[in-house]
Amino acid sequence: MAVDTLTFALVTGAYLLLVIGLGYLGYRRTKGHDDYMVAGRKIHPVVLALSYGATFISTSAIIGFGGVAAQLGMGLMWLTVLCIGVGVLIAFVVFGKRTRRIGQRLNAVTFPDLMGKCYGSPFMQTFTGLLIVVGMPLYTAAILIGGAQFITSTLLIPYDTALIAFAAVVALYVVVGGLIAVMYTDALQGAIMLIGMTALLVLTYLLLGGVTNAHAALDALSGEVPASLAAAGMTGWTSMPEFGSSLWYTLVTTLILGVGIGVLAQPQLAVRFMTVRDSRSINRAVLVGGPFILMMTGVAFTVGPLTNVYFSETQGEIAMQAATAGNIDTIIPLYINAAMPDLFIVVFMLALLAAAMSTLSSLFHTMGTSLGYDIWQHTRSEKPSMRTIQLATLAMIVVSVLLAYVMPGSIIARATAMFMGLGAAAFLPAYALALFSDRPSLRGAKYSVVTGAVVWFFWTAFVHIKESAVLGLAEFLFGVESLLPMPWPVIDPLVVALPLSTAALTAGWLIDRSLAGAPGHAETS
């Protein structure tokens, strides 16, 4: 159903005025490269926490992963545990402090720049930037799809119009205002997300008769599990799939580990640690970031499964059956529009827009600086200008919008997990070594990033059935959808690529160590 036009216009107008105002403030405070790239290294810890959380949690978590939770159940709550334990505590306290200190000492302004300067290697900077430019548009397009789908289902406007308008608004303040504008608007959007998700949890439990009744009703639906999911190992919406089943491998290796570990090596998140003055600011940010991530993911992974109760009671079918054309990305938007009051629909739409815009702005900024700063300066003799970086950002936005047009349905959560898995496989071992070693091995880092990327892409194209079957390369070259027998086709590329990337790092480090005393030996670039 469409919401009241006047109410929507007033609320959205006020929101956009705030976003534009903060974007303009960022523009006024952006005087040079440091301001555009790392927000002048003067960001307040609360702004850091909200920006980090709002960047991490987007429509992929609320719509994409919420839809997956509606399909597969509350086993996804283990991802919340990893998001807090790894994505906040380890990321901030262990990785964040060292990233800030080393980044400031080396005057690094992007994640690839940090990698390049830690290893004294143009190759590390360029290759890291190239992987971001190649891989991140997939994730960015998924966020665009999530935001556009909710706008379409709520306002009943054409999908194309929603997609282009959505991207254009975010592009405006990212291209002009840089990271200062991104982080200021992120903080606002994070606050809106927190209000919207809290209200969604409370209203859902009120609608379903309270916490106890809601969960009892969900447990009672275990007999309604579709035959295809039951055959794959699903036992119900309040329990994990059978251990070792194909569904268990998908849930654990792709969704839980892919995102839960991948968050440590996300360039758009790591660069935020370089925006604060000191390590004390990072400690203070944890106190805000932890509860924020708990509410964002915990609510999505709770409400998602509970939509089955609502659709069962009101329409006589589970959420997957109520989804538009079987697309699980439509479950949360359909539930909101069918079950919630009009005023809440407007507020929650703003929360979803805020979630998508906060992540999109960070991804746009990261892709643009990777192309316009990290790659450009190694293909041209001169240092890139602000205009070059802005044009590169605009180019990556266009690529992401075009990709959003061709991606299939039910893709949001998977695309998110894919890029996070790629980031962990390619970047995490070398990133960790750069932070925790006084003399990191360049040879080991090169071996690691190349091995992690190559193995991840190979496994995705030829083994992991969800992608290999769609790409068709294994079928075309070898006559099979996957090169390996079960359970390998349902084991995520991260689980194979990250250990091999770590092994390659270790091998390179041992070679460097054995050659350290050799006369005239040096590893360069």
- Residue whose entry in the numeric block shows the structure tokens 């998140």: 269
On the CB side of 309, how many CA atoms lie within 13 Å of its CA? 25
Q: By mean pLDDT, which of 68-77, 240-249, 251-260 is the weakest?
A: 251-260
In a domain, residue 391? The reply is yes
Q: By mean pLDDT, which of 2-6, 23-27, 113-117, 132-136 is the weakest?
A: 2-6
- Residue whose entry in the numeric block shows the structure tokens 């309270």: 210
Q: List the structure tokens of 77.
A: 């709550």
In a domain, residue 523? The reply is no
Q: How far apart are CA 62 and CA 413, in angstroms?
A: 10
Host domain of residue 428:
5-515
Residues 68-124 have pLDDT tens digits of: 899 999 999 998 888 888 888 888 888 988 998 998 888 888 899 999 999 999 999
In a domain, residue 363? The reply is yes
**In terms of Cα–Cα distance, which of 372, 356, 422, 373 is closest to 136?**
422
The amino acid that residue 384 corresponds to is: P
Q: How far apart are CA 318 and CA 300, in angstroms?
A: 17
Q: List the structure tokens of 363.
A: 């991804």
Residues 379-405 have pLDDT tens digits of: 666 677 777 878 888 888 889 888 888
Q: How far apart are CA 232 and CA 404, in angstroms?
A: 30
Residue 520: which pLDDT band, with cuts at 50, 70 and 90?
very low
**In terms of Cα–Cα distance, which of 371, 24, 21, 390 is closest to 171?**
390
Asked if 426 contacts 457 with a C-beta cutoff of 8 angstroms, the reply is: no
φ/ψ region of 107 (left if φ > 0, alpha if ψ in -120 to 50, else beta) reads left
The amino acid that residue 271 corresponds to is: V
pLDDT at 131: 93
Residues 279-313 have pLDDT tens digits of: 777 877 788 878 888 888 889 899 999 999 999 99
pLDDT at 213: 95
Residue 357: which pLDDT band, with cuts at 50, 70 and 90?
confident
Alpha carbon distance, N-terminus to C-terminus of the chain: 58
Asked if 308 contacts 237 with a C-beta cutoff of 8 angstroms, the reply is: yes
Average pLDDT of 177-193?
A: 74
Given a cut of 50, whether residue 2 has pLDDT beyond it is no
In SS3 terms, 429-445 reads as: HHHHHHHHCCCCCHHHH
| Inter-helix orientation angle 111-119/97-106, to 10° | 70
Angle made by CA atoms 374, 378, 384, in degrees to the nearest 5? 60
CATH code at position 20: 1.20.1730.10
Distances in Å between the alpha carbon of 60 and those of 253, 374, 397, 486? 18, 27, 18, 28
CB contact set of 516 (below 8 Å; sequence gap of 6+) = none
Given a cut of 90, whether residue 428 has pLDDT beyond it is yes
Q: Exposure pattern of 406-428 as b/e (b: 16+ CB <10 Å)?
A: eeeebbbbbbbbbbbbbbbbbbb
Angle made by CA atoms 501, 91, 180, in degrees to the nearest 5? 110
Q: By mean pLDDT, which of 189-193, 239-243, 303-307, 364-368 is the weakest?
A: 189-193
Q: Exposure pattern of 34-52 as b/e (b: 16+ CB <10 Å)?
A: bbbbbbbbebbbbbbbbbb
Average pLDDT of 428-450?
A: 93
Asked if 146 contacts 415 with a C-beta cutoff of 8 angstroms, the reply is: no
Given a cut of 60, whether residue 522 has pLDDT beyond it is no
pLDDT at 1: 43
Average pLDDT of 61-68?
A: 81
- Residue whose entry in the numeric block shows the structure tokens 């990777």: 370
The DSSP-derived string for 226-275 is: -HHHHHHT---TTSPPPTTSHHHHIIIIIIIHHHHHHGGG-HHHHGGGGG
In a domain, residue 522? The reply is no
In a domain, residue 521? The reply is no
pLDDT at 420: 86
How many domains does the structure of the chain reveal? 1
Given a cut of 50, whether residue 359 has pLDDT beyond it is yes
pLDDT at 462: 94
Q: How far apart are CA 156 and CA 396, in angstroms?
A: 28
pLDDT at 138: 85
In a domain, residue 235? The reply is yes
Asked if 25 contacts 184 with a C-beta cutoff of 8 angstroms, the reply is: yes
Give the helix/strand (H/E) hosting 129: helix 122-155
pLDDT at 59: 66
In a domain, residue 524? The reply is no
Q: How far apart are CA 211 and CA 330, in angstroms?
A: 24
Radius of gyration of the chain (CA): 23
In the chain, pLDDT over 70 holds for what percent of residues?
Answer: 88
Average pLDDT of 243-262?
A: 88
Average pLDDT of 495-515?
A: 93
- Residue whose entry in the numeric block shows the structure tokens 């990233």: 99
Given a cut of 50, whether residue 334 has pLDDT beyond it is yes
**What pTM does this model have?**
0.84
